[in-house]
A and B are shown apart, each in its own frame.
Chain A
Amino acid sequence: MSIDVETMGYELDDLIRSTPGVAALFPAEASPLALATTLVAGALSRPVPASVSVSTSPAADLADGVEVTVKARVAVDASWSAAEVCRAVHDAVVERIAADFPAATSIVSVGVAQVAD
């Protein structure tokens, strides 16, 4: 059995999007211009809010000691706390990986790229 990093990426993406406090998208700041909102979202390299990349090391075989590295970038809703949401995203990802692949260790980084009103 091996870890399909692509599938895992999508699953984690869904998981992160559904974490409370993660913003629905990156809007331009308090912009009255719907135009700008769309554009800022479009200008980013990947659909928002969550951008996730997953890699495993040294190989994708699920032997003991496989390390799963997850890098996520999120926007946080301003009515929450960025630091708290960031930790919650981290914990949700770690939990999910532990549940699906008990033998793996995970290194999860979460960056808040925007706090959105």
Chain B
Amino acid sequence: MDADDRTLAGRASDGDVRAFEVLIRRYGPYMRAYSTRVLGSTDEVDDVVQESFITAWQQLPQLADLTAVKSWLMRIVSHKCIDRIRARRPHADIDDHEPHADDGESPPRRAEAMDRERALEAALAALPEQQRQSWLLREMSGLSYDEIAEELGVPASTVRGFLVRARKSLIRDMEGWR
């Protein structure tokens, strides 16, 4: 029987290693995919996702809503990724006022031959750091505005601002607004 998340998380929370392993196999690929997007490289991804699952095992008994285990895992991995980025560039207080935020000179105009996903990839990569983080946390991890705010250490209103700008840039890049 293909166990549902709540059942698996409940078992893992009670100490069932086998259930936890099923969760690792089920959501590990998402967490890896997400980390690769955020970190922009793969050499740290293995470690980040492993650490995330170890943290998850430790904290699982405190998870109140077991049905939310996927977004909870995504939040853990998001957090680990952000820690990595901070450690990488201790002083780079990720500036949102980079030139191409809203001015339309983003790259993927030459994306003619790329498929849509590749085009989105490129458009994402061109976003300023915090916009990209916010967008990934929102669209890929499914976090709420408040949760993103907490992760990034900025007010929720700022997160809303990041997301508006990110969406505008991405839509413009993806659709070629007329």
Q: Mark B129-160, 1 if CB is under 8 A from A, else 0.
A: 00000000000000000000000000000000
As a 0/1 sequence over residues 29 to 43 of chain A, the CB contacts with chain B under 8 angstroms (1 = contact) are: 111010010011001
Complex Cα distance, B57 from A39, in Å, reads 15
Q: What A residues does B18 contact at CB under 8 A?
A: 28-31, 33, 36
Q: Which residues of A contact B63 (CB under 8 A)?
A: none
Interface residues on B, range: under 10
Report the bound CA distance from A36 to B17 in whole Å.
7
Interface membership of chain A positions 42-71, coded 1 if the CB is closer than 8 angstroms to chain B and 0 otherwise = 010000000000000000000000000000
Is B21 in contact with chain A by the CB < 8 A criterion? yes
Residues of B contacting A30 with CB < 8 Å?
Answer: 18
The residues of A with any CB-CB pair to B shorter than 8 Å are 28-31, 33, 36, 39-40, 43
**8 more CB-based (< 8 A) A-B contacts, given A29-B18, A36-B21:** A29-B17, A31-B17, A31-B18, A33-B18, A33-B21, A36-B17, A39-B17, A43-B17
Listed A/B pairs (7) with beta-carbon separation below 8 Å:
A29-B17, A29-B18, A31-B18, A33-B18, A36-B17, A36-B18, A39-B17
